[in-house]
Amino acid sequence: MDLKSPISLTDQYETIKPLLAIHGPAEFAPLREKGISEFEKVGIPTSRDEEFKYVPLRALSEDNYSHAYGANVSREAMEATLLGKLDAITITFVNGEHAPEFSSIDALPKGVYVGSIEEAIEGFGDKVLAHIAKIATTDGKLGSTNDDRFIHLNNAFLGEGAFVFVPKGKSIERPIHIQHLHQANEGAFAVYPRILIVLEDGSDAKVVESFSGIEGNVFTNAVSEVYLGKDAILEHTKLQAESLEAIHIGNIAVFQEEGSTYTSNNINFGGKIARHDVNVWIDGEHTETWLNGVNVGLGSQIIDNHTRIDHAKPNCHSFEVYKSILGDQSVGVFNGKIFVYEDAQKTDAKQTNQAILLSGEATMNTKPQLEIFADDVKCTHGATIGQLREDALFYLRARGIPLQEAKALLVYAFAAEVLEKITIHEVKDVLEAKLFDRLGIQTIE
């Protein structure tokens, strides 16, 4: 079996199917078969598919990708990534394979699990099977353009992945870091990361996902499923810093029980094409949902964010702020959907999308969507696209700050409003430094 020869994504499944059967329980087999079957019905999206209107994915249908292969990555290279030195409970995957030598999951509190899905089956199999592939779906939900094709494709390759389990009433003080490092130095490949996070009633944790690319063309199709029990609290930060040759498609699906609080911090720096979906299903009263995003697009990058919040129960609050900074010929996309179901009275939902264009050739496409079927709600949305204010630039330059630095400072302040919501100070400081570094060298016309 030649795993390094480029073939179509569906043919990849057939060639690697025997290896996939080794990982995980027998119950995964029907999930894989259903996944590839559902994906084959629709295939790679085109511009005619509403949910992928601005994302050209022709490369995925040109047989450019082989299976993921091993990589010789040093500890120095690992630590050189943005969050490589983060003080955290860490599980690491290199080119899609679990890398225990780069992981540190010792001294976990009793009953807590952080590790691979494959190894979790023995002691936590019931927890895995209760939630895997059941949260990441829009089946039976409102909406005429629901599109789960890349979730189906990820399901087809379900095997190795990360599992985080925090039992009832436990609070994890140290952050949990799930890091993925990709190095395509022997040809382009496709990888299908899977993450399952389960927080039982009254538990509390902070989870960081990072995707870093050392070099090369990688197609990453990542799916994360999150279950929050009653009164559980999760701060969930995702950093996408793939190679600028890479295509990254990520889906995060969340299920919230009564009284839970979910905070998503979604940061996009890398990728030739980066598409990220966050879908939240609110299934209990008195929940809070916070969706925050910062995107920096330079060169010819395309960064596409789709968010969806299903308010299915009353007395819940959601707050959403996504900001994009676009220079050169980069393209940004934001589509934010809020569905308020008939029984979801007293819903309070606020959505804000803002973009700064640093050049005359950068483009932002924004589309807020509200579908409300209850009559006692507060739902607002706002979208603004603009350039830096001349009076603010004049104020800074009058105080001796050079033009380039003044522009960078203003853009930094624009994004920092979101980054400041990250409560893991080490992560926030690293991301702010990276943001400032990129803006400091950006030529602003």
Of the candidates 226, 177, 179, 178, the residue with the CA atom closest to the CA atom of residue 203: 226
Q: What pLDDT is recorded for position 78?
A: 87
Of the candidates 403, 324, 241, the residue with the CA atom closest to the CA atom of residue 54: 324
Of the candidates 65, 47, 48, the residue with the CA atom closest to the CA atom of residue 57: 47
Distance between CA atoms of 290 and 351, rounded to whole angstroms?
10
Average pLDDT, the chain: 92
Output b/e per residue, 71-94; b: 16+ Cβ within 10 A. Answer: bebeeebbeebbbbebebbbbbbb
Q: Give the chain's largest Cα–Cα span.
A: 69
- Give the CA angle between residues 235, 239, 240 to the nearest 5°: 145
Q: Which amino acid is at 34?
A: K
Confidence of residue 353 (pLDDT cuts 50, 70, 90): very high
80 three-state secondary structure = coil
Distance between CA atoms of 269 and 274, rounded to whole angstroms?
9
- The stretch 278-285 carries a mean pLDDT of 98
Confidence of residue 440 (pLDDT cuts 50, 70, 90): low
Inter-residue contact 81 to 430 (CB < 8 Å): no
> Model confidence over 82-141: pLDDT tens digits?
898 999 999 999 999 999 999 988 778 899 999 999 999 989 999 999 999 999 999 999
- More confident: 410 or 135: 135
Distance between CA atoms of 134 and 255, rounded to whole angstroms?
10
> Model confidence over 302-326: pLDDT tens digits?
999 999 999 999 999 999 999 999 9
Inter-residue contact 267 to 291 (CB < 8 Å): no
- More confident: 148 or 68: 148
Confidence of residue 2 (pLDDT cuts 50, 70, 90): low
- The stretch 249-253 carries a mean pLDDT of 98
Q: How far is CA 189 from the centre of its chain?
A: 20
Distance between CA atoms of 366 and 385, rounded to whole angstroms?
9
- The stretch 252-262 carries a mean pLDDT of 98
Q: Can you spell out the DSSP letters for 361-398?
A: T-EEEEEEEEEE--SS-EEEEEEEEE---HHHHHHHHT
- The stretch 341-364 carries a mean pLDDT of 95
| Residue 441 clears pLDDT 70, i.e. is over it | no
Burial of 390 (0-12, 13-18, 19+ CB in 10 A): exposed
Confidence of residue 410 (pLDDT cuts 50, 70, 90): confident
Tokens read off for 41: 């019905």
3-state class percentages of the chain: helix first, strand second, coil last, to nearest 5: 25, 40, 40
> Model confidence over 156-200: pLDDT tens digits?
999 889 999 999 999 999 999 999 999 998 889 999 999 999 999
Q: Where are the domains of the chain?
A: 9-389
Tell me, what DSSP letter sits at residue 187? B
Q: Residues with Cβ < 8 Å from 294, sequence gap 6 or more?
A: 266, 267, 268, 322, 323, 324, 325, 415, 418, 419, 435
Distance between CA atoms of 26 and 430, rounded to whole angstroms?
42
Q: What pLDDT is recorded for position 443?
A: 40
- Give the CA angle between residues 331, 337, 338 to the nearest 5°: 150
- The stretch 65-81 carries a mean pLDDT of 87
Output b/e per residue, 136-152; b: 16+ Cβ within 10 A. Answer: bbbeeeeeeeebbbbbb
Q: Residues with Cβ < 8 Å from 439, sequence gap 6 or more?
A: 296, 325, 407, 408, 411, 412
Confidence of residue 442 (pLDDT cuts 50, 70, 90): very low
Q: What pLDDT is recorded for position 445?
A: 42
Q: What pLDDT is recorded for position 51?
A: 94
**Global confidence as pTM:** 0.95
- More confident: 185 or 276: 276
Inter-residue contact 192 to 157 (CB < 8 Å): yes
- Give the CA angle between residues 130, 131, 135 to the nearest 5°: 145
Q: What pLDDT is recorded for position 76?
A: 87
